[in-house]
Amino acid sequence: MLETWRWFDRNDSVSLKKVAQAGATGIVSSLNEFAVGEVWPLEEILSKKDFIESAGLRWSVVESLHVHSDIKTRTGNYRELIDNYKQSIKNIGRAGIGIVCYNFMPVVDWTRTNLDYYLENTGSALRFDMVDFVAYDMFVLARENADRSYTEEMGKLARQHFDVMSQEQLKLLESNIISGLPGGEVSYCRESLKQTIAEFICLGEDGLRENLVAFLAEIIPVAEEAGVNLCIHPDDPPFSLFGLPRVVSTQEDVRKILNAVDSPANGLTLCAGSFGARGDNNLVEIVEEVGSKIYFAHLRNVVREANGSFYEAEHLSGDNDMVALIDALLKEEEKRRARGLDLPIPMRPDHGHLLEDEVKMENAKPGYSYLGRLKGLAELRGVIHALSYARKK
């Protein structure tokens, strides 16, 4: 597998020199300076690629080329936005970058309620607490008919929790949920969030899936011609938030997407933490079924709690069998080599813990500290080497 590292830009607190010292050879990055929906100019892509290569690294994966909400709803200026997306894909291909990770999550990108969840080892992790989230949805955002999205018991738990929360706690919770996390598409104010949620709820799951397929039907042929493999990222968390439709949360969802537009360029990002936040998703089975379409892997782990809550675990602990998953991905790489394909799967450690030396750093991005990911990469590398060594015996 190809060891990669999520790097945001030249202002990232983790320099390319540090990435190289961590042992990664590939960079996963984006052009964050361009607004969602704008064309990525070829010269800007090449400039960033040259800067990365000057550090002895390679820009291996674009994450993310965001899909504008108007495309997801097929409203507003979606036709021009799709044309812009096509042009960006062409430019990425011309720059020699062959993998683009994207998502089709409505309104909110990856979502957590706690960015500093205290662990027994005194580090901190990202956490999604369902009771916190429901309390925000029902009693802070006060979304119309929010109670219909939850069980009566969950509503009572949220009410009890909300009643004892301070204004400071509520302000922090809202910031965590709607202000946008690293790599996310956009941030909202309370009113714009409610309005956008209502639009997607009216669209529904079938409508959102139809719009995704319509988008792919136009984009995938362009990606094929450009030599680019698109790989959709699963919903994170992989269940409805704010009553919104979700269409990339289960193995069946993946099957529908890949079958709807049957092309080698229509692929999947296997995010272990996203899929693994649901106990009914079997990660190894997903690899065994659609492994040939997996072009990128986020190897992170979670501990699942009651009511859909979870927190980010260490990479080799938690509820996902990371060793079995890596073994399945290595087997898929073997199948590719047997068919004469040179397509190693880029993987990156994801959502590392915040550890001692970086706890007080003001510019440390939640989930993207250096030491936590360095630790995770070392652990994952050890598993890969051990499994590879065992195959040679």
Contact 123, 372 (CB under 8 A): yes
From the list 233, 235, 327, 353, the catalytic residue is 233
Could you tell me whether strands 310-313 and 124-128 are parallel, antiparallel, or unpaired per DSSP bridges?
Answer: antiparallel
Active site (annotated) includes residue 202: no
From the list 311, 351, 353, 370, the catalytic residue is 351
Could you tell me whether strands 346-349 and 294-299 are parallel, antiparallel, or unpaired per DSSP bridges?
Answer: parallel
**DSSP symbol at 370:** H
Active site (annotated) includes residue 50: no
**216/263 Cα distance (integer angstroms):** 10
Burial class (CB in 10 A: 0-12, 13-18, 19+), 256: middle
**93/98 Cα distance (integer angstroms):** 6
From the list 298, 311, 315, 327, the catalytic residue is 298
Active site (annotated) includes residue 66: no
Active site (annotated) includes residue 298: yes
**137/349 Cα distance (integer angstroms):** 31
Contact 259, 218 (CB under 8 A): no
Sheet of 310-313, strand order: 114-118, 124-128, 310-313, 301-304
**126/70 Cα distance (integer angstroms):** 30
From the list 102, 150, 368, 370, the catalytic residue is 368
From the list 271, 311, 315, 327, the catalytic residue is 271
Active site (annotated) includes residue 315: no
**95/75 Cα distance (integer angstroms):** 31
Provide the 3-class DSSP secondary structure of residue 171: helix
Active site (annotated) includes residue 368: yes
Residue 324's beta-bridge partner residues?
none
**231/60 Cα distance (integer angstroms):** 13
From the list 117, 350, 353, 370, the catalytic residue is 350
Just list the catalytic residues.
Answer: 233, 271, 298, 350-351, 368
